[in-house]
Structure 1
Amino acid sequence: MSKLPQKNQFLDLSDYGRPCARIIAQSLKKTSFTPIHVTIAFVFSGLIAIVCIFHQYYWATAFFLILKSILDAADGELARIKKTPSYTGRYLDSVSDILLNLLLMGTIWYVTDGSLGYAFLAFIGIQLQGTLYNYYYVILRNKHNGDTTSRIFEDSTPIALAGEKQKNVNILFFMYKMLYGTFDKIIYRMDKDAVKSSKLPNWLMTAVSTFGLGFQLLLIALMLVFGLKHYIVPFFIGFSFFILIFIGIRRFVNR
């Protein structure tokens, strides 16, 4: 099931794992497995990938990073199939992603013996890239009556949905705000008029989808496999300049 009506769907380069994710979700439809279980599975897959980097098992790293991306899509698919959307799952997913990203960049810094400062800048860049992609995507979903579990402005604790506890939502939302709040504010201030956009063309969304976490992890996997690990940090620092380019294009098409 898509997060958008069919006529508004675009080629999402970060969502290459969606076909496999749908198969996984369908296979779990009539089981006791919940979307939270799948989220926990992608956390383990990400942690295994990080351990593999330490031991320089880069093909194994690539496998588990891609598996992590597939499972990251599968938890949402399962939630939609079972009709059990939850803010608990939404925030657990996001909190897990940012913590895994931090560990991933820290591990890459360690195995490349590079600059910790530059590695941290690359982490900041990755998060800002992903935030811009999510910002535009959530605007598009809300505009066209798509999936609305994610909100454009995460400024207040949401009311728990059926089947989840408000306490869990409160804790995870607090963690989300602590970890993502600054990134959300930066991107909003850079392009606050995006919420009023009359057009977010499919071709632009496809271009911005290169900022999606799935695509970022795929690039990291390929660079590790092809012996380019020393280029990962500088690449993501440099790639962050496209944030300004994409915002400029968005403004141009809505002028």
Structure 2
Amino acid sequence: MDGFYQKSVKPRPRFEWSSKYIFRPLAHLVVVPLSRTPVTPPMVVMFHTLLGLYAVALIPQGQTLLPAFLMQIKTVLDGADGQLARATGQTSETGRYLDTNMDFVVNTALFLAIGAQSGQWLQAFLGWVLLALIGTTDFQWEAAHQRSRGNTFRATPEQQNDNPLVLALMKGFYNVVFGPQDRLIRAWNDGRFQAITRQARPDQLQEASQVYHTPRILDFSMNMGLATQFLLAGVCIALGRPLWYVYALYVQAGVLLLLQGYREHLTREFLKKS
């Protein structure tokens, strides 16, 4: 069963603590029995999406512990769909887009619920924007780290029989919602590197790229993933202070800016010494 578990785990250069030590092992307990049934990963995605929407709908009603708990169950199942797909050879391009798109739907509903519960609609909107940018930064930094080392960021899906219409709809939704921020963060990432290395020698660029995309920043950014976000949001909701989660996102955004400054400093120091 260890081999089955290892097959289900997505290879990443660093790991998210809450996912590795809490949610991924719990998801495995779900994946093992599900792998013996006709249940497919997209079915799991749709179920945990509905569960997440139900959970956040309880927040404006003043409930605390139940929505907080259900959000953690949602996170377990959110990990289970991917683990099930990898363990059983059911990864697909449609599934990847579906999972990301449905996470966006639940995340949006969460901040609507925070706004309704607190009456602080501007704060809720800013939290929604920040969570999207933090998630995209995590994604783009990891992708850039892998590219700088000549690694494959995402393996080719094992299933190639996607329904063209469904896949087109999933891609279209993703491109509308995530496309602009993906381009923004990637352009910022690449633009800053180009500005720092403008005077660098050609023989310095490859190593400078690896210094700039240091795995040290991933130790922080990858721990701002959705599993950790829902754990943190759940704590705030359980305490009856959902708006505190928005404030926590301000802190995370500040940490990312500090990390950007840190890797720029590392790259400049490398260029001076090499």
TM-score, structure 1 length as denominator?
Answer: 0.84
How has the CA–CA distance of structure 1 residues 149 and 118 changed in structure 2, closer, same or farther, with 3 Å as cutoff? farther
- Segment drifting more, 237-246 vs 54-63: 237-246
Q: Aligned with 2:126: secondary structure? A: helix
1:137 aligns with 2:135: no
Q: Aligned with 1:10: secondary structure? A: coil
Which residue, 34, 45, 56 being the options, matches 1:28? Answer: 34
Deviations, residues 119-139 of structure 1 (Å, cap 9, x unaligned): 211110011001111222334
Which residue, 183, 186, 189 being the options, matches 1:185? Answer: 183
Q: Which amino acid aligns with 1:213?
A: L
Deviations, residues 75-133 of structure 1 (Å, cap 9, x unaligned): 1111111111111111111111112111110110111111x222211110011001111
Aligned-residue offset at 1:38: 0.9
Query: Bigger radius of gyration, 1 or 2?
Result: 2
1:10 aligns with 2:7: no
1:98: which partner in 2?
104
Q: Aligned with 1:231: secondary structure? A: helix
Aligned-residue offset at 1:246: 2.2
CA contact (8 A) 2:145 2:210 kept: no
CA contact (8 A) 2:17 2:223 kept: yes
Which residue, 220, 223, 248 being the options, matches 2:233? Answer: 220
RMSD of aligned Cα (Å): 2.5
Whole-angstrom distance in 1 between the partners of 2:261 and 2:126: 22
> 1:152-191 to 2 correspondence within 5 Å?
161-191=159-189
Whole-angstrom distance in 2 between the partners of 1:35 and 1:174: 21
Whole-angstrom distance in 2 between the partners of 1:12 and 1:182: 26
How has the CA–CA distance of structure 1 residues 32 and 250 changed in structure 2, closer, same or farther, with 3 Å as cutoff? farther
Report % sequence identity.
24
1:245 aligns with 2:252: no
Whole-angstrom distance in 1 between the partners of 2:263 and 2:85: 31
Where does structure 2 lack aligned partners over 5 or more consecutive residues?
1-7, 194-205
- Segment drifting more, 236-245 vs 29-38: 236-245
CA contact (8 A) 2:93 2:167 kept: yes
Which residue, 52, 65, 80 being the options, matches 1:59? Answer: 65
2:242: which partner in 1?
229
Aligned-residue offset at 1:220: 0.9
Whole-angstrom distance in 1 between the partners of 2:18 and 2:183: 23
CA contact (8 A) 1:49 1:65 kept: yes
How has the CA–CA distance of structure 1 residues 250 and 31 changed in structure 2, closer, same or farther, with 3 Å as cutoff? farther
Deviations, residues 11-53 of structure 1 (Å, cap 9, x unaligned): 4135231111122112111210111011111101211211221
Aligned residues: 242
Q: Aligned with 1:207: secondary structure? A: helix
2:197: which partner in 1?
none
Which residue, 41, 47, 55 being the options, matches 1:41? Answer: 47
Where does structure 1 lack aligned partners over 5 or more consecutive residues?
151-159
More helix by share: 2
